[in-house]
Amino acid sequence: MKIATHELRCTECGARIAGTAVNSIFRCPTCNGLYDVIYPWSAISNGDTVASDSKLPNASALRWLWQERRTSTLSVDQSGVWRFRDLLPIVEDLDHVVTLREGNTPLYDLPRASKALGVDWILAKHQGMNPTGSFKDTGMTAALSVARERGFEWVACASTGNTSAAMAAYAARAGLRSIVFIPEGKIAWGKLSQSMDYGALTIQLRTDFDGCVNVLTDLVNRFPIYLLNSVNPYRLEGQKTPAFELVEQLEWQVPEHIIVPGGNLANGSALAKGFSEMHHLGLIPRIPKVSIIQAEGANPLYRSLQENGGQELVPVKANTRATAIRIGNPASWRKALRALRTTGGWCEQVTEQEIALAKAEIGAEGIGCEPASAVTLAGLKKLVAQGKIGREERVVLILTGHTLKDSAYTIDYHRGELFTDDENTQISAPDQLLHTALRKPPVVLDPDTDTVFRALESQMKLVHA
Ligand code: F0G
């Protein structure tokens, strides 16, 4: 079945090229800008004449079709990305689609966070429930399918761990070879183990994520290797689909706020694109505010907005225990800025201590997430305190990675070994109390019933008769 009907448009100079004409680094040769994928209907205005309207996908027909596909046994219909393929016609032949049935992620309420913050309606869309445990799967199925269709044998990415895990898995499914560049010693073990498990050639460079990107960019210029970092605009076509799935799960109601973590700064713009396209097609009546939260130690977008109003990026030497977002020179910062501006969202930063507390709180709701995902709740607290988010507004946190991705962080936190003494003294008294209540270090005991019972008694405050 032939379905591909798209072009790439430079986000800086507006130049349009065929998808197959793009260079190996996915940057405009004229102005170095990144590309957006656009479709024939992208340019058609909602209020156009009947003739143009006929080219605009019909909102009710799409809603019906997407719902119908839920009952299908076809792999492309069971995928929570390709179920929405009408709005991402990027492959010619659906047989080229590489899918692990990604997407279809749950939407949870967070009753304790809602109560603590005084916000009625806080939900978490858990993208960590994807096949390799992070939101990257939704983008990887899209871009890897394009790589396969275009006949590449090798694919590669630089990664803080999740992109590499996803790429390695999807490449293995497709029978392609994959090369992973990761900063040595600076990614969580769970993620490193995944790329090995899925058979990638894993190269640990003695540098940071930004250094890995530089090496890989040189490499793809010289060898026929398909680049799967988020500068690849097809990744973002997959990553926009959780926006579709989210409003579908809410019976087409639109929340007021979406909050995402910011690292290389592509995902916020992908979701904003998804919401904009739904709005354009009349699937939703308005677009939610998309806010991006960075770790204080890896805050180039936040700093740039403070220091020069987002005129230019101020790269930083990144350092945060939320290693997934340990990025100082994010490639997609202009796209992120555009997402903030078009949706009316904010950019905030949160400290290491705030991230750890938020992560423990999400864990205590029985959900859990990796540290980078917890910046969303920490950022929400700030936005509420600043009066930017009101009690009656509906908020969705995008939890990007599974808690098991970085179990070492969780264990260190609960054992009280995560922070230095200096960092501990910076925690406010009310937050100290919260940490104390949330910390659940493992208790080591002799295998003796009385000993165990005494330990339980003190925990349960039981008075034994
Ligand atoms: N959350 C998690 C768990 C991530 O792995 C990443 C990025 C982000 C948030 C930030 O998303 O880059 O689109 O702003 N991880 C990349 C990687 C960089 O290599 O896995 P972003």
Distance 134 CA to ligand 1 centre (A): 9
Q: Model pTM? A: 0.96
State residue 46's pLDDT score: 55
Distance 321 CA to ligand 1 centre (A): 13
269 lines ligand 1 (CB under 6 A): no
Distance 180 CA to ligand 1 centre (A): 15
**Looking at the predicted structure, is the pLDDT value of residue 221 above 60?**
yes
Q: Which atom of ligand 1 is nearest to the CA of 267?
A: 13
**pLDDT (mean) for 104-122:** 97
Ramachandran region, residue 118 (left: φ > 0; alpha: ψ -120 to 50; beta: rest): left
Pairing of β 7-10 and β 121-126: unpaired
Distance 210 CA to ligand 1 centre (A): 13
State residue 4's pLDDT score: 63
Q: Backbone phi, then psi, for 53, in 5-degree steps? A: -60, -30
How far is C-alpha 62 from the geometric centre of its chain's CA atoms? 25
Nearest CA to ligand 1 atom 10: 263
What pLDDT, in 10s, does the model give residues 225-281? Answer: 999 999 999 999 999 999 999 999 999 999 999 999 999 999 999 999 999 999 999
What pLDDT, in 10s, does the model give residues 315-337? Answer: 999 999 999 999 999 999 999 99
Distance 454 CA to ligand 1 centre (A): 45
**Looking at the predicted structure, is the pLDDT value of residue 464 above 80?**
no
188 lines ligand 1 (CB under 6 A): no
State residue 458's pLDDT score: 81
State residue 53's pLDDT score: 46
What pLDDT, in 10s, does the model give residues 65-105? Answer: 999 999 999 999 999 999 999 999 999 999 999 999 999 99
State residue 265's pLDDT score: 98
Contact 208, 328 (CB under 8 A): yes
Mean residue pLDDT across the chain: 95
**pLDDT (mean) for 54-69:** 92
426 band by pLDDT with thresholds 50, 70 and 90: very high
Q: Which atom of ligand 1 is nearest to the CA of 166?
A: 20
**Looking at the predicted structure, is the pLDDT value of residue 366 above 90?**
yes
**pLDDT (mean) for 355-382:** 98
State residue 43's pLDDT score: 77
**Looking at the predicted structure, is the pLDDT value of residue 52 above 80?**
no
23 band by pLDDT with thresholds 50, 70 and 90: very high
Distance 456 CA to ligand 1 centre (A): 40
**Looking at the predicted structure, is the pLDDT value of residue 50 above 90?**
no
Half-sphere exposure of 12 (CA within 13 A, CB side): 11
How far is C-alpha 25 from the geometric centre of its chain's CA atoms? 21
Distance 325 CA to ligand 1 centre (A): 6
Report the percent of the chain where pLDDT is more than 70. 96
Q: Which atom of ligand 1 is nearest to the CA of 163?
A: 20
State residue 178's pLDDT score: 98
Pocket mutation for ligand 1, best pick of 157, 264, 397, 404 (most atoms within 8 Å of C-beta): 264
What pLDDT, in 10s, does the model give residues 3-21? Answer: 668 999 999 999 999 999 9
Q: 457 or 145: which carries more pLDDT confidence? A: 145
Cα angle at 136 between 69 and 397, to 5 degrees? 85
Q: Which atom of ligand 1 is nearest to the CA of 158?
A: 19
Dihedral sign of CA atoms 407, 411, 414, 417 in order: negative
Pocket mutation for ligand 1, best pick of 127, 325, 329 (most atoms within 8 Å of C-beta): 325
State residue 45's pLDDT score: 65
Distance 23 CA to ligand 1 centre (A): 24
